[in-house]
Structure 1
């Protein structure tokens, strides 16, 4: 399998962590989708990463679809429950974490996208997205409480998604003081960073 992505993308990192936890072999191909000479559309018509290209050339895209597929490839380290409320809980955690990343990325693009003049940027839009980020962090903290992991006592996709969101915020928004406001989230991220799958994929 070939994974097309960028080391700075939290969605790509989520897939890479799942692959490491599942002990799956793959080739990582870095792609800058913002470059004029990007070829991502030949694999993903939406022009986004991550994109997983199968051995037969078929492409699977959207990180949620990819990680769900990967979890079926090996019984090692099952990350998503197969059915019922437990499955819905893990997928909801993933949706929450992805939503925080979605909002943060929209805020960053509005503030930094090179093809937009400063006069065209909307601070109101940025503020709206950052409210979503803070509300998402608050919900994460409340949901985690004093549990060792987001969905019980074992690592799951819930923790991987949340860890990727928190790691990306530290990378791109160091001014957001979420660690002091939500110390249980900081404790979770520190614990996750002890795992090689997280340490080896720190955004850069």
Structure 2
């Protein structure tokens, strides 16, 4: 069986998990403590980063963008990257937005300060960085709401990689309880829609005893 090396709150690991689930591809999760820099894992990905997907034939793929494009090209049922060049351009623009801009301005601030500092032993959370992350999150949620008012999904009429990339980031922030959904009703409507998909079930079941989720994390109808 194919194996996905992941970290449970890595949005990029979650993105690959969601693509695999949407395409109904079986896989085994292998939690990878990247801070330990294990030799066996570094032999798979010298960058020492998750996600890493090892296919059944031994093919090893690194980086969520590479993995997701590979999966969409090889397993063509349930296409997530559009059917023509114009659609693909918009989908890739939004994937870059969430993988890059959102992750840099929101997830790195909140996840980095709240959790990763603990694992890497690099100090206590900086309240200024946390405040900046929450402020930035509000801007991004407004943009999600703006897109969803004009489209059936974020990039157009159908669920695409753009929705998957956004859901991966949002689910991490929501796990930590850093979203005031009452202030972002249109973004909430979109998230409720994708949250109800079967592909999200395993992600919403994620739990860490030392870092529990927000009370509404797994609820499909939430405040």
Both proteins in one fold, TM over 0.5: yes
Distance 1:15 1:117 in 2: 30
Distance 1:9 1:129 in 2: 16
Counterpart for residue 151 of structure 1: 155
Q: Deviation of residue 70 (structure 1)?
A: 0.3
Counterpart for residue 218 of structure 2: none
Counterpart for residue 220 of structure 2: none
CA contact (8 A) 2:4 2:53 kept: yes
Counterpart for residue 221 of structure 2: none
CA contact (8 A) 2:145 2:184 kept: yes
Unaligned runs of 5+ in 1: none
Unaligned runs of 5+ in 2: 208-223
The answer as to 2:38 corresponding to 1:34 is no
Distance 1:23 1:176 in 2: 30
Report the number of matched residues: 200
Q: Which moved more, 1:103-112 or 1:42-51?
A: 103-112
Distance 2:14 2:88 in 1: 22
Counterpart for residue 199 of structure 1: 201
Distance 1:37 1:47 in 2: 8
Q: Deviation of residue 129 (structure 1)?
A: 4.2
TM-score, normalised to structure 2, is 0.78
Greater RCO, CA 8 A, separation 6+: 1
Counterpart for residue 109 of structure 1: 112
Q: Deviation of residue 67 (structure 1)?
A: 0.7
Counterpart for residue 21 of structure 1: 22
Distance 1:175 1:151 in 2: 25
Q: Where does 1:48-197 land on structure 2 (aligned, <5 Å)?
A: 48-98=49-99, 99-107=101-109, 108-112=111-115, 113-114=117-118, 115-118=121-124, 122-172=126-176, 174-177=177-180, 179-197=181-199
TM-score, normalised to structure 1, is 0.84
Question: What's the C-alpha RMSD, in Å, of the aligned pairs?
Answer: 2.4
